[in-house]
A and B are shown apart, each in its own frame.
Chain A
């Protein structure tokens, strides 16, 4: 409020009352938005954790046979690579984000002379790469939601610490000033009336 000049008028008091009314109506909305964003971020973080556990489960399941992947006859990297991660735009807690759909792989055709383990390795890698791609999308969603959360928190603070207290203070000060003015006017009128009455008696 410091440094802000208040116009001590009834119009200004009406304006400040309007600001207060709007701010008090908006604050719960922003608070609800903040809670919703926090809950959504937590849900996404939990999903990331679930996917990580799934990746680890797959890795442990494959551990007994990963030795075959160092096969001197095969470079498994030549058989599979990610072409594109396919996503779609969705609205999450009021924020537009990219949701994971699937991964488009480049899989080289398997020839007759290719060892059988290559088929299993390709399946495993596809599974792991899909899960990792989903994690990347979810992390990106969290980044966007956290940006929005910061913005919403700033608004909540603005309403809680600035707009509402300032409007209340302005309304109170204008009220006091107007009341003082009214008293002064009445007092002046009374003094004038009394002096006129005295003049008349004389």
Chain B
């Protein structure tokens, strides 16, 4: 655990991911026991898999799931959302701003979770979740996003332009 964590580059929100998820997985596979690596594989903030052997992480992912569900339910019912842990300020702004605020909140929660857990399995699991967050944040791109929208709403025109 110690060797793995010291070999990994540090992560910070807003930075270009210093390694890819695949590189991280390869590194972790070579350093962790099979049991720990299986646990690491099951941790995923994208899939929000709550069947994780770490209670704190499972609870965190479950909260994200429930809060997203509450936000959607409130929208359908035309009322203000009452998420359990997600700050209401994260629900203000345009979809991009909201998504970034949600990621910031998740990042902060993960920082709290790993505090005092240096060189433990929790730190490794949190590292993966943080890496997923920065990788996702880095994928937000104005030009590419506009291309995606154009390809969806006007594929014929898009083809002509190309």
Contacts and interface: CB of A to CB of B under 8 A. Distances in A.
Q: Do A and B bind each other?
A: yes
Interface of A: 59, 62-73, 76-77, 80, 110, 112-117, 119-121, 124-125, 128-129, 132
Given A63-B146, A125-B152, A116 B99 contact: yes
A116 B102 contact: yes
B94 interface: yes
B153 A128 contact: yes
B68 A117 contact: no
Interface string B129-142: 00000011001111
Contacts of A119: 72, 75
Nearest to A77: B152
A52 B99 CA distance: 29
A68 B135 contact: no
| Secondary structure dominating the interface of B | helix
A68 B152 contact: no
Interface residues of B, number: 32
A68 B145 contact: yes
Contact of A70 (B69, B72, B95, B139): B139
23 contacts: A62-B149, A63-B146, A65-B94, A66-B145, A67-B141, A67-B142, A68-B95, A68-B96, A68-B140, A69-B148, A70-B144, A71-B139, A72-B135, A77-B152, A80-B152, A112-B65, A113-B46, A113-B47, A117-B99, A119-B72, A124-B149, A125-B152, A132-B154
